[in-house]
Amino acid sequence: MKIAILSRNENLYSTQRLKEACIARGHEVDVIDTLHCYMDITSSRPAVRYHGEELPKYDAIIPRIGASITYYGTAVARQFEMMGTFNVNESVAISRSRDKLRSLQLLSRKGVGLPRTGFASKPDKIKDLIKNVGGAPLVIKLLEGTQGIGVVLADTAKAAESIIEAFMGLKANILVQEFVKEAGGADIRCLVVGSRVVAAMKRQGAEGEFRSNLHRGGTAEIVKLSKEERETAVNAAKVMGLNFCGVDLLRSNNGPMVMEVNSSPGLEGIESATGLDVAGKLVEFIEKNAKPNANRTRGKG
Residue 244's pLDDT is 98
Q: What value, to the nearest 5°, has the Cα angle with vertex 32 and ends 29 and 34?
A: 145
Note the CATH number of domain 117-179: 3.30.1490.20
Q: What is the DSSP code (8-state) at residue 262?
A: E
Q: Which tens digits make up the pLDDT trace of 222-249?
A: 999 999 999 999 999 999 999 999 999 9
Q: What is the spatial distance between Cα 128 and Cα 198, in angstroms, rounded to a whole number?
A: 41
- Tell me the CATH class for 2-89: alpha beta
Indicate if the alpha-carbon torsion angle 58, 89, 264, 151 is positive or negative.
positive
E strands, the chain, where?
2-6, 28-32, 37-40, 47-50, 53-54, 60-63, 86-87, 117-119, 138-142, 151-154, 174-178, 186-193, 196-204, 219-222, 244-252, 255-262
Q: What is the residue type of 198?
A: V
Q: Where in the chain is the domain with CATH 3.30.1490.20?
A: 117-179
Parts of the chain belonging to CATH 3.30.470.20 = 97-112+182-288
Write the pLDDT tens digit of every residue in 42-70: 888 999 999 999 999 999 999 999 989 99
Q: Which helix (H) or strand (E) holds 237?
A: helix 227-240
**Which has more pLDDT, 210 or 66?**
66
Beta bridge pairs of residue 153: 139
Look up the CATH architecture of domain 97-112+182-288: 2-Layer Sandwich (3.30)
Q: Which one has a higher pLDDT value, 174 or 12?
A: 12
291 pLDDT tier (thresholds 50, 70, 90) = confident
* pLDDT band (50, 70, 90) for residue 17: very high
Cα diameter, the chain: 61
Q: Which helix (H) or strand (E) holds 251?
A: strand 244-252
Residues 6+ apart with CB under 8 A from 170: none
Residue 88, helix vs strand vs coil: coil
**CA-wise closest residue to 181 among 253, 256, 258:** 253
Q: Report pLDDT for 125.
A: 79
Q: Model confidence at 301, in pLDDT bands (50, 70, 90)?
A: very low
178-204: pLDDT as tens digits: 998 888 888 999 999 999 999 999 988
